Structure 1
Amino acid sequence: MARLAIMYHIIRKSHVSELKQRRNDRRMMRYTDRAFSMCENEFIANYRVSKNLFQEIYQNLKAFMPTPKRKSDISPKFKILVALSFYATGSYQKLVGGTYGTLMSQQCVSRAIRDVTAALNHQLVLNKWIKFPQTRQERDAIKRRFYEKYHIPSILGCIDGTHVAIIRPKENEERYFNRKHFHFKNVMITSDADLKILSVDVSYGGATHDSFIWNQHPVKQHLINLNSNGENVYLLGDSGYAQREYMMTPIVDAPVGSPEEYYTKMHCHARNTVERSIGVLKNRWRCLLRHRVLHYHPDVASKIINACCVLHNICITKLDNTIIYPEGNSEDDGHDNLNVIFQHSTASTAAADLRRGIEKRAVLVQQLWARRM
């Protein structure tokens, strides 16, 4: 009799567990189906990508996400939906979990954002979607595209810094605080002529100047090596960067009607590419906007920024232009002390580098002036 009672208890417990699992499966399927039951425009408004592109993102990320260990675990597809909703709105986790199509607790939202962000920061994913051109063929393709659009030769990219606000960190606060009295990450971005991000550096806080970040970046040495080997390539930067052979900057206060003024206008028109790239990035993934503020540790905020840059490049590569964004950066980052240039070389070396850079720019000025008609 006791054996029968035990067997009945085991069978009943198994049946109840199975019913709970079925209810959980139906609940998760219902939430996912609820998201995909939206019309295309509503889906894009909530997740910033089309339904077809979402499927491609899922296929790219599922191999890098944790494998569900229990039947009650949330599926990778649903986690990506939740993370996209957070990136797109910058809302609090509890509000994201209460949104139509992504119903779950705040703790589950937190885990979903963590897992998806980690997948987007996986080295294989980063190297696939954000990569500076390494071959001559890749560089020539980018230079040719810039010349077709802006009629300036040898441009390999445009560079600028942008601010992403974070909450006050508990440690090393002075690294992130700026004169506007808020804390942020100073993110260095390089983009090509089609707004695709070629490199991103999220290592520094807001107290660090753009030029200092550039001087520590490996791309700088890469460009120096290319020019030393006889390949004519350079980036376009604003006046916050030092004029060099590998960095073309505008000529401040150029006389009206002069070749220098003509060069500066063309330079600014072309360099606007990176500002538009940042504008599209922030207007698609609005968690990066200054007034949203990332409520995370600086290291976690850096990973979220990287994740948004990867998603930005996926959208650009797949030509997902279903949402129209304002051209130009959506915020005035207000760089501090733009005329202050940080140097780490000796005075004589810096002077020689500056002289060669000015000479190269003078040649470019005359080339553009001669072709203006």
Structure 2
Amino acid sequence: MAAIQHRLQILRQRTRDLPFPRVFQDRSNPLETLSSPEMFQRYRFRPHSILLLVNILFPYLERATGRSCPLPPLLSVLVSLHFLATGAHYIVVGDVHGISASSVCRAIKTTVAILSGVARKKIQFRRDLDAVKAEFFSIAGFPNVIGLVDGTHIRINAPHQYEEDYVNRKGYHSINLQMVCDAGFRIQNVVVKWPGSVHDARIFRQSSLCLDLENGVMDGYLLGDSGYACRRYLLTPYLNTRSQAQERYNRALVKTRVIIEQTYGVLKRRFPCLSYGLRVQPQRCCQIILTCSFLHNFGLDNGDIFDRLDGFDVDQPDHDFHFQIQNPGNGLLFRDVLAQTFFS
């Protein structure tokens, strides 16, 4: 019996020492097998836009890996877009494209890191602010508006560090995302670094955008909901109207500000990973959110428009927080004068 056990142990040792064979799978090219509508349904972009993305990423992807047989840039882009468009697990994305889950993880990590860096340079306010103001004015007659600001929560898994800071008022872990958009659903500014417990007003107050508006770098003002403090550069609705002019002011503000809610709806429908939740650490989550923001604008530039504008973000502020942040200063007086001047 001892001899048999010794023999089995030797066989098991030899089996472990055998090299695991490396398998090179035959991967198909979705651009050759799928039609343009099918590509858009699966990857949220049509073939010509995907090829433009590959051209943008190719110089970076070529230097990003030192592996002997790296994934082709096209496959890295397709894998990353498929993940953003579905929010599926890496092993599911890998089975679709004929690669391992670890390769999917590396491809997404590299692509998202590159695109988030591009997003920090590309996402900015338009230079033709007069045209932006005219577009907003044509919606509901609200003058001198250069953008709409609002926040939304992106669900994440509980992080390993500072876990309690990421619990928002609704009781789940999230990152609080702040965006500013124009009248054409284009994202002009993104702040994505704060945990879910931080209020929208604080995020805006400590942003570089707020500092620029205070210093008069941009001529105009933003429209926000009643969760923000009313300032000369950030106008909010009246909680209790006292005149017809204030009621018309509120109606015009709500009709104009609905665009930022539609923008969030389009963004989350186009990239459902933002709706289902992200299963990575907060730093990577921020990179993914930035990447989705850049791709949203990239799709608008190239005509790949996600036309389901019926999605609204319903993340509204708590009503018992309004009076804590409202400050009876120049902002409230400026709002009264504007309402009386333009909406009387």
TM-score in terms of structure 2 length: 0.87
| Residues 200-255 of structure 1: CA deviation (Å, up to 9, x unaligned) | 1111111000001011001001011117xxx7411000000011100110011325
Establish whether residue 41 from structure 1 lines up as the match of residue 24 from structure 2.
no
Question: After superposition, where does 1:255-274 map in structure 2 within 5 Å?
Answer: 255=242, 258-274=244-260
SS of structure 2 residue aligned to 1:294: coil
Establish whether residue 88 from structure 1 lines up as the match of residue 72 from structure 2.
no
Counterpart Cα distance in 2 of 1:61 and 1:337? 45
- Contact 2:155-2:274 within 8 A present in 1 as well: yes
Q: 2:310 aligns with which of 327, 334, 347?
A: 327
- Give the equivalent residue in structure 1 for 2:190: 200
Q: 1:115 to 1:150 in 2, by over 3 A?
A: same
- Contact 1:211-1:341 within 8 A present in 2 as well: no
One-letter amino acid of the counterpart of residue 266, structure 2: V
Unaligned runs of 5+ in 1: 1-19, 344-349
- Give the equivalent residue in structure 2 for 1:112: 107
Establish whether residue 284 from structure 1 lines up as the match of residue 270 from structure 2.
yes
Counterpart Cα distance in 2 of 1:35 and 1:181? 43
- Return 143-152 or 269-278, whichever deviates more: 143-152
Q: 1:205 to 1:148 in 2, by over 3 A?
A: same
Q: 1:245 aligns with which of 210, 232, 238?
A: 232
- Contact 2:227-2:318 within 8 A present in 1 as well: no
Q: CA deviation at 1:320?
A: 1.6
Q: 1:217 aligns with which of 179, 203, 207?
A: 207
- Give the equivalent residue in structure 1 for 2:148: 158
Counterpart Cα distance in 1 of 2:108 and 2:90? 9
Q: CA deviation at 1:295?
A: 0.6
- Contact 1:240-1:340 within 8 A present in 2 as well: yes
Q: CA deviation at 1:169?
A: 0.9
Establish whether residue 309 from structure 1 lines up as the match of residue 290 from structure 2.
no
- Give the equivalent residue in structure 2 for 1:65: 61
| Residues 299-336 of structure 1: CA deviation (Å, up to 9, x unaligned) | 11111111111101111222322x4213342x432534
- Contact 1:209-1:336 within 8 A present in 2 as well: no
TM-score in terms of structure 1 length: 0.80
- Contact 1:36-1:43 within 8 A present in 2 as well: no
Counterpart Cα distance in 1 of 2:290 and 2:246? 37
Establish whether residue 369 from structure 1 lines up as the match of residue 343 from structure 2.
yes
Counterpart Cα distance in 2 of 1:319 and 1:177? 38
Q: 2:130 aligns with which of 140, 158, 166?
A: 140
- Contact 2:36-2:46 within 8 A present in 1 as well: yes
Q: 1:39 to 1:176 in 2, by over 3 A?
A: same
| Residues 116-174 of structure 1: CA deviation (Å, up to 9, x unaligned) | 1011022xx124420134xxx53223222212333211101000001100001111011
- Give the equivalent residue in structure 1 for 2:4: none
Unaligned runs of 5+ in 2: 1-20
SS of structure 1 residue aligned to 2:152: strand
- Give the equivalent residue in structure 1 for 2:171: 181
Q: CA deviation at 1:37?
A: 1.4
Q: CA deviation at 1:71?
A: 5.3
One-letter amino acid of the counterpart of residue 255, structure 2: H
Q: 1:342 to 1:53 in 2, by over 3 A?
A: farther
Q: 1:71 to 1:163 in 2, by over 3 A?
A: same
Counterpart Cα distance in 1 of 2:263 and 2:48? 23
Counterpart Cα distance in 2 of 1:216 and 1:258? 35
Counterpart Cα distance in 2 of 1:190 and 1:338? 25
SS of structure 2 residue aligned to 1:84: helix
Q: Considering only aligned residues, what root-mean-square deviation do their CA atoms show, in Å?
A: 2.3
- Give the equivalent residue in structure 2 for 1:12: none
| Fraction of identical pairs, as percent | 31
Q: 1:157 to 1:338 in 2, by over 3 A?
A: farther
| Residues 171-194 of structure 1: CA deviation (Å, up to 9, x unaligned) | 101110123221000001111111
Counterpart Cα distance in 1 of 2:255 and 2:47? 34
Counterpart Cα distance in 2 of 1:179 and 1:339? 12
Q: CA deviation at 1:294?
A: 0.6
Q: CA deviation at 1:340?
A: 4.0
SS of structure 1 residue aligned to 2:82: helix
